[in-house]
Amino acid sequence: MVTTVTEKKTHLLYVDDEAAYRNIFCREMGEDQRVTIETAADGPTALRMLETRRADIVLTDLSMPGMDGITLLQEIHRRYPEIFVLILTGVNSAHEAVRAMKAGAYDYILKPFDVTTLQMQLEKILQHRHLLDNNKEGQNEAHFEQLVGQDPAMYELFEGIRRIGPTNITVLIRGESGTGKELIAAAIHARSARRDQIFVPVNCAALTEGLINSALFGHEKGAFTDAGARKIGFFELAQGGTIFLDEIGEIPLQTQVALLRVLELGTFHRVGGTETIQVDTRIICATNKDLEAAMREKIFREDLFYRLNVVTLTAPPLRDRQSDIPLLVNFFLRKFNRESGKQISFVDQATMNRLCAYRWPGNVRELSNAIERAVAFCPGSELRLKHFPAELQHAVVAEKDFSLQLSSSSLPEIEAEVIGKVLEEKHWNLSQAAEALGIARGTLYSKIKHYGIVKN
C-alpha cells in the first residue's frame, strides 16, 4: 500500500486482486501532487478501508474473486453515494462494462491502462468535484436545504441562483408540484442584499377569490362586512424583504391588475382605502401551469406575464434526475433520523433500486414523505421496501432492456453502438435515453460528442 499525504488532496482508493496492477497504479499516479493513494486487494477490504477513511474516488477492477467490481460498486453507491467510482475492464468485458454504467459507475477504463488515460479521467472527476464543492458551499451560504443534487440540471439551477440572487430582478420559477420551488425562492432571497430582511411565502392557490386582495394588499376598517379593523397585507409585511407568490397562475384577473401596478410603480391601495402605499419588495413568483396557454385563454394577463417573466428558473422533475435519488434518500434519512431519534443506517439494495426506478409523480416532496413514513415504520437499522407506502411497493416499474444485438468488437465501439441504439429507441430524448442508460444527461451529451453520434 502506498500513500502520499498533502492537505486538500483528492483521495484515491484502487481495488484490484492483481498485485502487479496495484504496483503499476501507484507508480504511475504516485507522483501526481493532487492525490493521495491507497490500494486494496479485494472488495471487502476496500469497504473496511472506506469506513475509516472516506475516498473521493474509487477505481475498481471488474473481475475479482469473491466480491466482483459490480457488487462493490453497488455497495459503495448504497453506502456512500457521493463517491465517484471508475470501473477497470478488459476489452472482452463490454456487456459487463455496460452493466456497470447502469449500476452507477462514473465511467470505465480499459486494462491495461496508461497514465495519460488515468490522468484524463482524474481531471474530469476533479472538475466535476469542483462543481460539487461550489454547490455545497453555495448551499451552506444560501441555505439551499433540500436542494440536493449532482445532475447537470441542478448545476444549472444552482448557478442561476448564484447569478440572480444578488440582483433585485423579478424571478419566475417554473416546475411541477413538489420540485422545491419555495426552497429555490428562499435560496435566491438568502443570496440577496435583502437576506437579513423578511421572506414572505404566499400560496396563492390557498386564497379564495373573495379574500386574496385583502390577504395580499390588506384592507381598511369597514372595507367589507367582517373588516372590524385595519389589516396589513403580505406586501406591507414584506417591506424591505422578499415576497414569494407561489401558484401565481391561480390569481384572478382583478388581482392581476393590482399586482401589475406593484411591479410597475411599486405602489398599491388597501382594499377599501384611498391611501397610496409605497412598497420596496422583491417579487419572486412560481407556477406549475402553462402561463402561455393561460394567456391564450385570456385568464392570465399578457402584460403581467412579461413583467414576471424577466428571468426564469426551472425546477427539474425528479424523474429527469434519477441519479440524484440515492443522494436525496441519504439526505432525508439523516434528517428524519435526527427528528425521530433513530439510527437507521442503510437502505437495502433491492429497495434502493426500486426507489431509483420509480417515477415519483409527486417529485422530491413525495420522496421526502416516503422516507419519513419508512423511518417511522422501521423498527431496526435498515430500511426495506415493506416500510414504504403501498403505492410504491406495488408500483409497476419498467425494467430496462439492454438485450441488444451488438455487431462491434471493441469496448468503445460497443458503447457507441449501445448509446446510438438507445437514442434511436427514445427518439433522441436525452433525458429518457440517459435514464435508460443509467447515466447523467451531461455524461450522455459528452459521450455523444466524443463518439460523433448523429441522428439518423
Q: What is the pLDDT of residues 226-285, one digit of tens each?
A: 777 888 889 999 999 999 999 999 999 999 999 999 999 999 999 988 889 999 999 999
pLDDT at position 312 = 95
pLDDT digits (tens, 9 = 90+) for 405-438: 444 445 566 677 778 888 888 888 887 887 777 6
What gap in Å lies between CA 319 and CA 254, rounded to an integer? 37
Q: What is the mean pLDDT of the chain?
A: 84
User: What is the rounded average pLDDT of the residues 148-157?
Assistant: 83
What gap in Å lies between CA 34 and CA 51, rounded to an integer? 22
pLDDT digits (tens, 9 = 90+) for 327-369: 889 889 989 999 999 888 778 878 888 888 888 999 999 999 9
What gap in Å lies between CA 367 and CA 377, rounded to an integer? 15
User: What is the rounded average pLDDT of the residues 149-176?
Assistant: 90
Task: Count CB-CB contacts under 10 A for residue 218.
Answer: 23
Phi/psi for 245 (5° steps) reads -100, 100
pLDDT at position 414 = 67
pLDDT at position 411 = 58
Q: Which residues neighbour 64 within 8 Å (Cβ) at sequence distance 6 or greater?
A: 15, 16, 17, 42, 43, 72
Task: Count CB-CB contacts under 10 A for residue 262.
Answer: 19
Q: Which of 392, 400, 332 is nearest to 359 (CA)?
A: 392
Q: Can you give the chain as a three-state secondary structure string?
A: CCCCCCCCCEEEEEECCCHHHHHHHHHHHCCCCCEEEEEECCHHHHHHHHHHCCCCEEEEECCCCCCCHHHHHHHHHHHCCCCEEEEEECCCCHHHHHHHHHHCCCEEEECCCCHHHHHHHHHHHHHHHHHHHHHHHHHHHHCCCCCCCCCHHHHHHHHHHHHHCCCCCCEEEEECCCCCHHHHHHHHHHCCCCCCCCEEEEEHHHCCCCCHHHHHHCECCCCCCCCCCCECCHHHHCCCCEEEEECHHHCCHHHHHHHHHHHHHCEECCECCCCCEECCCEEEEEECCCHHHHHHCCCCCHHHHHHHCCEEEEECCHHHCHHHHHHHHHHHHHHHHHHHCCCCCEECHHHHHHHHHCCCCCHHHHHHHHHHHHHHHCCCCEECHHHCCHHHHCCCCCCCCCCCCCCCCCHHHHHHHHHHHHHHHCCCCHHHHHHHHCCCHHHHHHHHHHHCCCCC
What gap in Å lies between CA 81 and CA 431, rounded to an integer? 21
pLDDT at position 2 = 35
Residue bearing the bigger pLDDT, 418 or 75: 75
pLDDT at position 80 = 87
Poorest-confidence range of 3-12, 163-172, 368-377?
Answer: 3-12
Which domains occur in the chain, in start order? 10-131 (3.40.50.2300), 152-315 (3.40.50.300), 320-393 (1.10.8.60), 411-451 (1.10.10.60)
C-alpha cell at 367: 420522496
pLDDT at position 212 = 94
User: What is the rounded average pLDDT of the residues 133-155?
Assistant: 60
What gap in Å lies between CA 445 and CA 447, rounded to an integer? 5
CA angle 402, 408, 412 (to 5 degrees): 80
Phi/psi for 162 (5° steps) reads -60, -40
Please determine, for residue 399, whether its predicted confidence score (pLDDT) is greater than 70. Answer: no
pLDDT at position 305 = 95
pLDDT at position 3 = 33
Is pTM beyond 0.75? Reply is no
Task: Count CB-CB contacts under 10 A for residue 366.
Answer: 19
Please determine, for residue 104, whether its predicted confidence score (pLDDT) is greater than 60. Answer: yes
pLDDT at position 390 = 83
Phi/psi for 420 (5° steps) reads -60, -45
pLDDT at position 8 = 64
C-alpha cell at 126: 476533479
Share of the chain above pLDDT 90, in %: 42
pLDDT digits (tens, 9 = 90+) for 282-326: 999 999 999 999 999 999 999 999 999 999 999 999 988 887 888
pLDDT at position 391 = 81
